């Protein structure tokens, strides 16, 4: 059986995704989808995890940039996430 936490080749790529849900709570996280990746991509919004690089949470429908993806049992997890900015034009889908 393959270790699902192993870093994949996708680790060095940059993905544009759209936020589908934001889950509040003790360990808040977001769920996003990208045309370039099959399945959901989750990302932590907990400041202690140093994944979400912004001061405010994204809204549903917001375009974001995701990097450092790893395959998990039920989809993907991004270990770095931030808002899409004008200078990211080359990554827009």
Strand partners, 42: 31, 77
Contact indicator for 22, 57 with CB cutoff of 8 Å: yes
| pLDDT surpassing 90 at residue 9 | no
The count of domains in the chain is 1
Q: What is the pLDDT of residue 3?
A: 37
Domain that holds residue 17: 9-91
pLDDT at position 24 over 80: yes
Q: Is 4 contained in some domain?
A: no
Contacts of 61 (CB under 8 A, 6+ apart): 18, 19
In a domain, 2, yes or no: no
Six token digits for residue 5: 């936490």
- Is residue 1 included in any domain, yes or no? no
What CA–CA distance (Å, rounded) separates 92 from 38? 17
6 pLDDT band, cuts 50/70/90, is very low
Q: Tens digit of pLDDT for each residue in 27-54? A: 999 999 999 999 999 999 999 999 999 9
**Domain of 62: which CATH number?**
2.40.50.140
CA angle centred on 53, ends 30 and 42, rounded to 5°: 25
């Amino acid at each position: 059986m393959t270790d699902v936490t192993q870093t994949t080749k996708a680790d060095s790529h940059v993905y544009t995704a759209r936020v589908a849900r934001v889950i509040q709570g003790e360990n808040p996280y977001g769920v996003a989808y990208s045309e370039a990746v099959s399945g959901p991509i989750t990302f932590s919004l907990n400041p202690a995890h140093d994944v979400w690089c912004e001061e405010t949470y994204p809204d549903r429908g917001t375009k974001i940039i995701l990097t450092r993806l790893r395959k998990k049992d039920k989809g993907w997890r991004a270990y770095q996430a931030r808002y899409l900015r004008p200078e990211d034009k080359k990554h827009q889908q």
